[in-house]
Structure 1
Amino acid sequence: MPARGINHVDLTVSDVARSIDFYTRLLGPVGFGEYDRYPSYRGSEEVVYFRFGQQYLGLRPADGGAHHYYEVGIEHLAFFVDTREEVDDAYQRCLAMGANVHYPPELDRDIADYYALFVFDPDGIRVEVACAPGV
């Protein structure tokens, strides 16, 4: 039986409330919202899950340390939206909240009609918001 896709990804973050605020402000207007909260398998914290289509993003408190871009771990998360206007609107929300924008919205040089912005979340995890009608 073939795999059907990625169901969820959990991130460990330094401040769950701050990350909830960031992801809600960035992606809430395009349907990304808190779905549920569950105790972790360790029983010492809870995982907050957001739903985006049929995929889920979990946020749980880190035991310590920090994420460093391009070191071992996740390089970036990408979220697809329907239109370039939604990408542009997400960029405006990034500016309004003072987020660390890596690249403002632009067309990809290699993939036709691929329009994206990149921003770092509060822990330095790079997040992409993209529109790609042909992908």
Structure 2
Amino acid sequence: MIDHITLHVDDAGRSIDFYTRVLAPLGYVRKVQHGETVGFGMEDGTPRADFYVSPRITNAHESVETWRQEPTSPVTHIAFRAGDETAVDRFHEEGLAAGGTENGEPGMRDYHPGYYSAFILDPDGNNIEAVVDWSHSLG
């Protein structure tokens, strides 16, 4: 059910070095980098990363589009795997109806081809995402 999680840290370089070392014995390797954010995943021949380390930023109410250009994110980011784009759309609708704050309307993202997601800030400011990522089947 969990697609990926992002841990926000005070010193990204230090934490990335730390997690590179401690996750290696578990079979995790560095798979992707977006600016100062690094994604780790199992050494399985695919581009799939499910654990990210990213710099901590204070303004949690910037949109996810801005976050990718200038990191602005709450303490925790969790992405839930969705079965299809309709499920992502419904997640977004229900999140807003339940009192969440808009943080990225449903749509394709430019992270890589096949990535369709939506973002909501929960009542505590955590960034939650629903994603269907067809690229996982390409590896």
Q: TM-score, normalised by structure 1?
A: 0.46
Higher helix proportion: 2
Q: TM-score, normalised by structure 2?
A: 0.44
